[in-house]
Amino acid sequence: MRLPAISTQRKLGSTGLEAAGLGFGCFGLSNAYGPADPAEAVATLHRALDLGCSLLDTADIYGAGQNEILVGQALRGRRAEAVAATKFGFVCDATGKVVRRDASPAYVREAVEGSLKRLGIERIDLYTLHRVDPQVPIEDTVGAMAELVAEGKIRGVGLSEVSVEQLRRAHALHPIAAVQSEYSLWCREPEREILPACRELGVSFVAFAPLGRGFFSGALATNELAQQDFRRSLPRFQAESLARNEKFLQSLAELASRKQITLSQLALSWILAKGNSIFAIPGTRRQRHLEENVAAMQVEWTLEELEEIDRISAMHQDPGARYAPGSLFAPE
């Protein structure tokens, strides 16, 4: 049975904004995956806007603020074409290293002013708490964010990597526009609880790392990762887990070949087919990869094909931990 075509434009919660289901994650445009070229990064962002990938997602800690500056450069003269999204909640030391979480109301205000200045805009479309601060009740943080909405500094309130209980408490105080969590073929945990809760509450879902941080592109040579590449610290890219995961990748490659699409297009269109309230935000530094990703919005699936992906996925249930033990990025 052929399923309906993927909806290209999707509503972002109750903000009144719409964006293409495929957005752009800006994390890799700084130095997270090795040395980056700022000029090439801005050119890639411009190409993303050309192709209608209007949801641009960054964070104040990416590149210790430099990522927001890059996005700001790309937005000059093109602000109306973009849904500008950024995140806050981590504090860096003088070297740019993340040292702690802070979601206190005072820090919410400090952080938003910094992001607005670096982005060079008057209002952030989606402002997301990067991680819950265990020392601060979620109501205190969201209450401060709601004040920013009332003041016109942000348009929508977002949360990242939250539990259903935290989402419900926050949403009872102020409408949550979107929840952002890692979601991909090797990270399907959101399907258990948070995705159903988002659908119930009318909250959009933003899938970050939808290509498994590049793994599901099928072109990642893990032995060639730069020394400063963030992925070197992730258990899923360590030798033992990697051997298992590569078997999973091969099974998917066979299906992609039969369907005459790339692995990246399979991984992204699979996410987008999960519902019209879901956005995927892959990142890339190369315009040709961006164009390949955008074509995923045109891929149509049959129910039988999606069931086949589920069967393949069920055989590969141990990809390894998402983060190293003690990581500040791991959800509480």
Catalytic residue among 62, 107, 127, 183: 62
Measure CA of the first residue to CA of the last residue in the chain; give whole Å.
Answer: 41
Output the CA torsion sign for 279, 280, 281, 286: negative
**Distance (Å, whole) CA 202 – CA 15:** 11
Residue 36 is encoded by which pair of tokens?
Answer: 């980056």
Map residue 234 onto helix, strand or coil.
Answer: coil
Residue 266 is encoded by which pair of tokens?
Answer: 């399979």
Residue 217 is encoded by which pair of tokens?
Answer: 């592109």
Residue type at 235 in one-letter notation: P
Q: Is residue 62 annotated as a catalytic residue, yes or no?
A: yes
**Distance (Å, whole) CA 155 – CA 194:** 23
Centre a 10 Å sphere on the Cβ of residue 292 and count the other Cβ atoms it contains.
19
Q: Which residues on adjacent β-strands are paired with residue 27?
A: none
SS (H, E, C) 83-142: EEEEEECEEECCCCCEEEECCCHHHHHHHHHHHHHHHCCCCEEEEEECCCCCCCCHHHHH
**Distance (Å, whole) CA 99 – CA 58:** 19
**Distance (Å, whole) CA 319 – CA 323:** 12
Between the CA atoms of 113, 130, 47 and 14, what dihedral angle is there, to the nearest 10 degrees? -90
Give the active site residues: 62
